[in-house]
């Protein structure tokens, strides 16, 4: 009788704790599942592997969050019985994505690569640590199990549908309560020579050993010249400037070989927007002040005007040569059109996002959209706030065009494995 009473009392206590959790949860804490389920993301301890749970798991302390836009729950539409449809992944609208999810999500080889990269990263993290306290507030164990379940679904190793396995949390932003705020970033391509000549006369520098707070103006004037820091020379100082802005580049040599110029350090100076300076002075009338348009305009200007504009950004980036692709904050290589930089106070590194992303053709035009899996692998100084995302589009001119078309609000959700789902946990946690 004593054992039965204790078990009964334990169940009552669990119900009371769940009721308290429901009463104290805000809209930002809600994760609405695909169908008519209890629309609450249960405490992370409920989906952690049993051997990782403490004997008496305490309720997580409430985090005092800053004032942020309301994170709205997702509204779903249920397809009428028997209303079977055949929909291609590249042509699903918002409603179809919810009713035909397994068909609508675009599957590519990059999905598996991204999932394996996230798994490698998360397996190095403390499992019980909660991350992204300003919004997601989820454990690394929950993130890892979500990755495992998505990988199992992606590879077709489960009889369960996407709707049966995952819940969603809608990602809002300061600009839009129902859309995440996107920009794009890419890797520029620089023509590079290992030796200087009359054409290749603009140096690419490795970081000084003692650090440097020299401004862009001082460095361009030769403050670091002949100190053994040159790792190559390029033929276009304007393209070099935009490589500094992006933080990395592809070095393409005359014989066609390529290496990667990875960020090594910077001069500690603040970033200055040349677009803001150009707009303020009325130098470009009409048209978008995109990097591509600014670059084209600068190439038509005399040296004095080029210096004037470029020196408005005193921040200078030092590079290192590498044979591997640029690395993200998680330590894995970037994945074209799948890697996203996030503010990891809100969205944790290691999270998987489901988003409706514009499809861009070779001419830089939008030709539809795709529901894609995105991987939170990176962070950036300018990526600040809830729902602020920066998607990596690749390298070269076409990737640059895609960055401008990516800018704007896109429907985005964070995936979370449903509480209590324990099938196909193949990682042996």
Domain assignments of the chain as residue spans, ordered by start: 187-322
Provide the pLDDT confidence category of residue 231 given band limits of 50, 70 and 90: very high
Query: Which pLDDT band holds residue 28 (cuts at 50, 70, 90)?
Result: very low
Residue-wise pLDDT for 147-181, tens only, equals 999 999 888 888 888 888 888 888 989 998 889 99
- Across the beta sheet with 189-193, what order do the strands follow? 202-205, 230-234, 189-193, 249-252, 258-266, 317-322
- List, for residues 184-212, the tens digit of each pLDDT value: 989 999 999 999 999 999 999 999 988 77
pLDDT tens digit sequence for 372-384: 999 999 998 789 9
Class at the top of the CATH hierarchy for domain 187-322: mainly beta
Which pLDDT band holds residue 397 (cuts at 50, 70, 90)? confident
């Amino acid at each position: 009788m004593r054992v039965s009473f204790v078990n009964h009392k334990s169940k009552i206590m669990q119900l009371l704790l769940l009721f308290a959790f429901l009463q104290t949860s805000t809209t930002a804490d809600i994760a609405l599942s695909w169908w008519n389920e209890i629309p609450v993301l249960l405490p992370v301890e409920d989906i952690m592997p049993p051997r990782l749970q403490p004997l008496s798991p305490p309720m997580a302390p409430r985090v005092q969050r800053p004032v942020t836009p309301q994170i709205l729950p997702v509204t779903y539409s249920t397809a009428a019985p028997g209303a079977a449809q055949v929909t291609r992944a590249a042509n699903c609208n918002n409603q179809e994505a919810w009713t035909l999810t397994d068909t609508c999500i675009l599957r590519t080889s990059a999905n598996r690569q991204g999932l394996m990269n996230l798994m490698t990263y998360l397996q190095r993290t403390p499992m019980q640590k909660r991350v992204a306290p300003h919004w997601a507030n989820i454990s690394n164990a929950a993130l890892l199990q979500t990755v495992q379940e998505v990988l199992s679904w992606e590879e077709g190793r489960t009889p369960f549908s996407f709707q049966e396995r995952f819940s969603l949390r809608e990602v809002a932003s300061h600009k839009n309560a129902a859309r995440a705020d996107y920009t794009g970033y890419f890797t520029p391509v620089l023509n590079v020579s290992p030796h200087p000549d009359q054409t290749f006369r603009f140096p690419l520098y490795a970081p000084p050993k003692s650090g440097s707070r020299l401004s862009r103006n001082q460095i361009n004037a030769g403050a670091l010249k002949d100190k053994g820091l040159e790792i190559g020379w390029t033929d276009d100082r304007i393209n070099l400037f935009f490589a500094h802005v992006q933080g990395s580049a592809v070095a393409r040599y005359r014989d066609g070989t390529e290496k990667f110029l990875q960020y090594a350090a910077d001069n500690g100076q603040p970033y200055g927007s040349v677009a803001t300076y150009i707009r303020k002075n009325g130098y470009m009338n009409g048209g978008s002040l995109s990097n591509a348009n600014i670059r084209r305009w600068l190439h038509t200007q005399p040296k004095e005007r080029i210096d004037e504009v470029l020196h408005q950004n005193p921040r200078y980036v030092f590079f290192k040569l590498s044979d591997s692709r640029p690395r993200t904050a998680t330590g894995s290589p970037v994945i074209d059109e799948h890697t996203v930089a996030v503010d990891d106070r809100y969205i944790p590194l290691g999270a998987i996002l489901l988003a409706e992303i514009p499809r861009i053709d070779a001419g830089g035009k939008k030709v539809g959209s795709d529901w894609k899996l995105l991987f939170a692998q990176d962070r950036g100084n300018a990526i600040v706030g809830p729902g602020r995302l920066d998607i990596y589009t690749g390298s070269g001119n076409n990737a640059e065009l895609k960055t401008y078309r990516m800018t704007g609000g896109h429907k985005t959700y964070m995936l979370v494995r449903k509480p209590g789902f324990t099938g196909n946990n193949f990682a042996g946690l």
